[in-house]
Structure 1
Amino acid sequence: MTVLAAPRHPLVRQALTDARTWCTGQIIDERPALVHAVRVAVTLARHLPGVPPELVAAALLHDAPEFVPPELDLDTILTARYGPEVPRIIRALQVEHHALDQPNPPISTDDRPVLLASTADKIVALASLIRRARASGDPDAFFTARPGLLRLLPHFHGFHQAATGLVPTGMSDQLGYVLDLIDQTAATARTRMQEPGR
């Protein structure tokens, strides 16, 4: 049984409904965005027995700021339906996602709910990259075509190091495992990227 199995907590049930609505037609990692959202929520629950329903709801809705129609007042809707904690976590994750587009994105570990959701999100996203690289038939070309991701790998390793001891051991181990797999799978592409003139 997962955290999403019936009977669901009312907040989780509402979040799943909203996620279905807002994720419709959206793609993350070459799959429907709802698949990504559900995997993040399930990953959290796997590592956190008794995970708070607010955290599950935030995981299910963490990409909502990218998907909801601009005319909707997302913060007002989220606060009315879920209370203040869910939109707070979602907005913190949005800030973190946008920071990845900047040089040397900061790593923050002082907000445990955000750290837990962020770790689960990274596990799911990085595992998906490995799956897609292998399915491509040419993992080297797959990662060579993603220099931005390769440049972020040191950041993800730094995040893993900073989160170790602050998130459940199994969660930290799983993030470390997927990072090691990416390091192995993308080794040639990373070497090529570090060559002079690149």
Structure 2
Amino acid sequence: MTTLAAPRHPLVRHALTDARTWCAGQTIDERPALVHAVRVAVTLTRHLPDASPELTAATLLHDAPEFAPPDVDLDTILTAAYGPEVPRIIRALQVEHHALDQPDPPIVTDDRPVLLASTADKIVALDSLRRRAHSSGNPDAFFTARPDLLRLLPHFQDFHQAATGRVPTSMSSQLGHVLALLQQDAATARARLQESGP
């Protein structure tokens, strides 16, 4: 039994409705954005069945800043509907996402709700990237065409190490497994690229 299981807490039910609205017509990793949002929430609650309704709602809505209409006061809407904790977590994840564009993104581990949501998001996003690479028919080309992903792999490894002991062991293990497979794929792609030469 998790916070996503029926009967759902009113906050979670409301968050699913809002996620459907804001994700409509949007894609993440070439799939409907709602699929990503739900997978992140499912991943969280699989590893943390007693996750609070606020944390579950925040994972369902974590991409709201990207998808909500630009003319709405998102923080006011979210606070009125869910209380202050949900927009706080969402904004912290947004800051983390934007920091990935920096040369040395910071790793913040002292905010457990944000760390839990971030770990679940990384598990889903990185696993999705790996599946897309293998379904592309040419994983080597997929990875070599994404230098930013290859650049960020050490950061994700550092994040995994920092999160270990702070998130459920099963969650840390799943992230570690996904990263190990990605590292393998990336190393293979780099080796084949070097073999082919300039």
Output the TM-score relative to the length of structure 2.
0.95
Instruction: Identify the residue that residue 181 of structure 1 maps to in structure 2.
Output: 181
Q: CA offsets per residue over residues 131-154 of structure 1, 9 Å max, x none?
A: 101101111010001000000000
Identity score, percent: 82
Conserved? CA contact 1:92–1:114, under 8 Å: yes
User: Which runs of structure 2 are paired with 1:75-86 in the superposition (5 Å)?
Assistant: 75-86=75-86
Question: Which whole-Å CA distance do the structure 1 matches of 2:62 and 2:194 have between them?
Answer: 33
> For 2:66, what is the secondary structure of its paired residue?
helix
User: Which runs of structure 2 are paired with 1:46-195 in the superposition (5 Å)?
Assistant: 46-191=46-191
Gaps of 5+ in 1: none
Note the C-alpha offset of 1:189: 2.9
Q: Note the aligned Cα RMSD (angstroms).
A: 1.6
* More deviation, 115-124/183-192: 183-192
Question: Which whole-Å CA distance do the structure 2 matches of 1:134 and 1:104 have between them?
Answer: 28
* Cα separation, partners in 2 of 1:89 and 1:11, compared to 1, 3 Å: same
Note the C-alpha offset of 1:104: 0.4
Conserved? CA contact 2:123–2:175, under 8 Å: yes
Write the letter of the residue equivalent to 1:63.
D
Count of aligned positions: 196
Question: Which whole-Å CA distance do the structure 2 matches of 1:62 and 1:56 have between them?
Answer: 10
Question: Which whole-Å CA distance do the structure 2 matches of 1:33 and 1:84 have between them?
Answer: 24
Question: Which whole-Å CA distance do the structure 1 matches of 2:121 and 2:140 have between them?
Answer: 24
Output the TM-score relative to the length of structure 1.
0.95
Note the C-alpha offset of 1:185: 1.3
